[in-house]
Chain A
């Protein structure tokens, strides 16, 4: 399975680092791409990823209100919610896409997110 995770550098990427530092085991399907901010994520990039055969795409950023760039994640949320609603029209099960928040101190939560998302996509295979 090929899963892609687009993570903001400040919160979620650091949270994933924290999961690593704490050695919290996770399934190995997800590949993380570092972004400055979830606000940098172009929905078209996600569509493209699905088009090229991604089994799932996960986007994770800072909690609302905690964005390193003040409100980049609000822009992201607006764009990505729209995308999520459109996915079925492209024949992509909406379960294959998830948008969530993980902070730099939430290593355990990150691992849980990976676990759940992987499991969710796997059950669709």
Chain B
């Protein structure tokens, strides 16, 4: 056995605190026939050095002490393959994230690097060659969420020729962007650019659009997911409804207008908004007399198409997909509980920015005339408050919403355009305007549209003689300020879509404490999740504007297309295997396996033994521990390897 040890300096990232020469001196260990340090191992010359050493020194196994294997394991597996080794004959040791970056003392870091490297050597000594197999994939993609990100991803994938199922839980696709009036920094009309795409998605022959639907359960794994989709009963037969809205007109029951973010009212049966896709009515039972009092039936009577069916039930269908794109977006943070000083939702003229979008929008409840909710008056003094439920640790929301500064500037501009005599005031802490043309845009709001920006967080809002008194500070002048406002608009922070965490658990992907879904690597794998075959698009991953959402959606689409383009997938060979001759047939392993990957086979002598189905096994190793005679073993993480690694440290 001939082992080679390569210690990476990572420029100064490692070399500054780890004496890499000393670490490479693990070269004196048993079976080590070559050791060297490399400045940047992952670079081309770095990889070449490894390949050359393998060839020249006839190495059969390799240990690379460098960054996290989560970063470059695949890179180096490929490199050693090029040199003719089995890819699994390489093992990585993490002396950067777990060593040089967390220790400042050279002796400590070097000592630890030496230990970790020797442990790697001990481990690789027990490594066996592993071989992966190929499985066919399902050529169909599931897109969850029909906002601008989901629509973009679906269109890109469908245009590449792959069939797509789009599952949207609301009654229409379009998401939050459909609610916006104009969009920064170009001020083009949101629905003018979005509606054509919504229609295109609906008409695309490769896209199967399912509204009022949610994902129930997910089984299987990359290449072959099996998903139960629940289509919720809306009492309207989608195929029959023409969207004529006569039912909505005649319905006697009022209901909150969700599309208009709660400004204005709707009916128990309604078409969500005039540009909705699909343009179909839906009935909300919790507001409908037919269901509350057991009597009404007006909509059924007036519907000429016979589209109403009060007996309709949820439908669950099961479909198979090769990849999944999650694009469940965001919701404005519900600020009311956390900001009693801003009235906690009790003052009608303190509204959120999203509600204000609806007041600005020509298709909104006021027909695009800005009128304040309390008395329908046109406001003259409008105060915008940024970071409500953002950058505020005291309410558990320390992060930046990343779009607030921009849409406040937009809304200040639009306010002036709607009401030339108006004056806008903007309370901000910092103006975050990092995108292309963004800074110029916020400057324009001030310079050309006369919005007065005050740097400070507002302390309190209270009503006084039909106005709202806003008590704040301008920290730049050091003065307390008080503004008499007609309307106050709060830039409520970004929150993940309701139930995002629950969906993530169904999909077995991770999410952060705010239920934003986690990407696999913040820079290098920003659309992948830690679960193969599941990708992220848009604001579900974190606060994002439209350009960012769309870009990520196209990236996710590209990933999904790339994954499925080969028609088959290589499975990981790091799966469990049973030594059948010694298996007693107790099936403790089968009891614990989370993936039903263990089946019973009859041995030649007639007794039952366990066998692992490679394509189902995920390699968790739970069975490995459960087996009484210890005859089922996880390849790549065998007992022998783990013991060797442990004992090496304690030597």
Contact = CB atoms under 8 A, between A and B. Distances in A.
The answer to whether A and B touch directly, with their CB atoms under 8 angstroms apart, is yes
Interface of A: 2, 4, 9-11, 13-14, 16-17, 19-21, 23-26, 28, 31-37, 39-43, 45, 48-49, 52-54, 62, 65-66, 68-72, 75, 79, 103-105, 111
A40 B620 contact: yes
B646 A33 contact: yes
A35 B505 contact: no
Interface of B: 68-70, 94, 96-99, 101-105, 108-109, 111-112, 115-116, 119, 505, 508, 510, 512-513, 518, 530-531, 574, 592, 594-595, 618-622, 624-626, 634, 637, 639, 642-643, 645-647, 649-650
B510 A23 contact: no
25 contacts: A2-B649, A4-B649, A20-B98, A20-B101, A25-B104, A31-B112, A33-B645, A34-B69, A36-B574, A40-B634, A41-B625, A42-B625, A43-B625, A45-B642, A49-B650, A54-B650, A66-B505, A68-B508, A68-B510, A68-B531, A69-B618, A69-B622, A72-B622, A75-B625, A105-B510
Contact of B594 (A13, A20, A40, A69): A69
Contacts of A42: 624-625, 639, 642
Q: Top 6 nearest A-B pairs by Cβ distance? A: A40-B621, A20-B97, A69-B620, A28-B108, A39-B622, A20-B101
Contact of B97 (A16, A48, A68, A79): A16
A20 B645 contact: no
B98 A72 contact: no
Q: Which of A40, A45, A52, A105 has the most CB of B within 10 A?
A: A40
A37 to B, nearest CB: 4
Given A37-B620, A43-B625, 18 more contacts: A9-B70, A20-B101, A23-B102, A28-B105, A31-B115, A31-B116, A32-B116, A35-B642, A37-B621, A39-B620, A42-B625, A48-B643, A48-B647, A68-B531, A69-B622, A70-B508, A70-B594, A103-B512
Contacts, number: 141
Contact of B518 (A4, A53, A54, A104): A104
Contacts of A10: 510, 530
A31 B649 contact: yes
B103 A28 contact: yes
Contact of B530 (A28, A65, A68): A68
Contacts of B642: 33, 35, 42, 45
Nearest to B530: A10
A26 B649 CA distance: 19
A26 B103 contact: yes
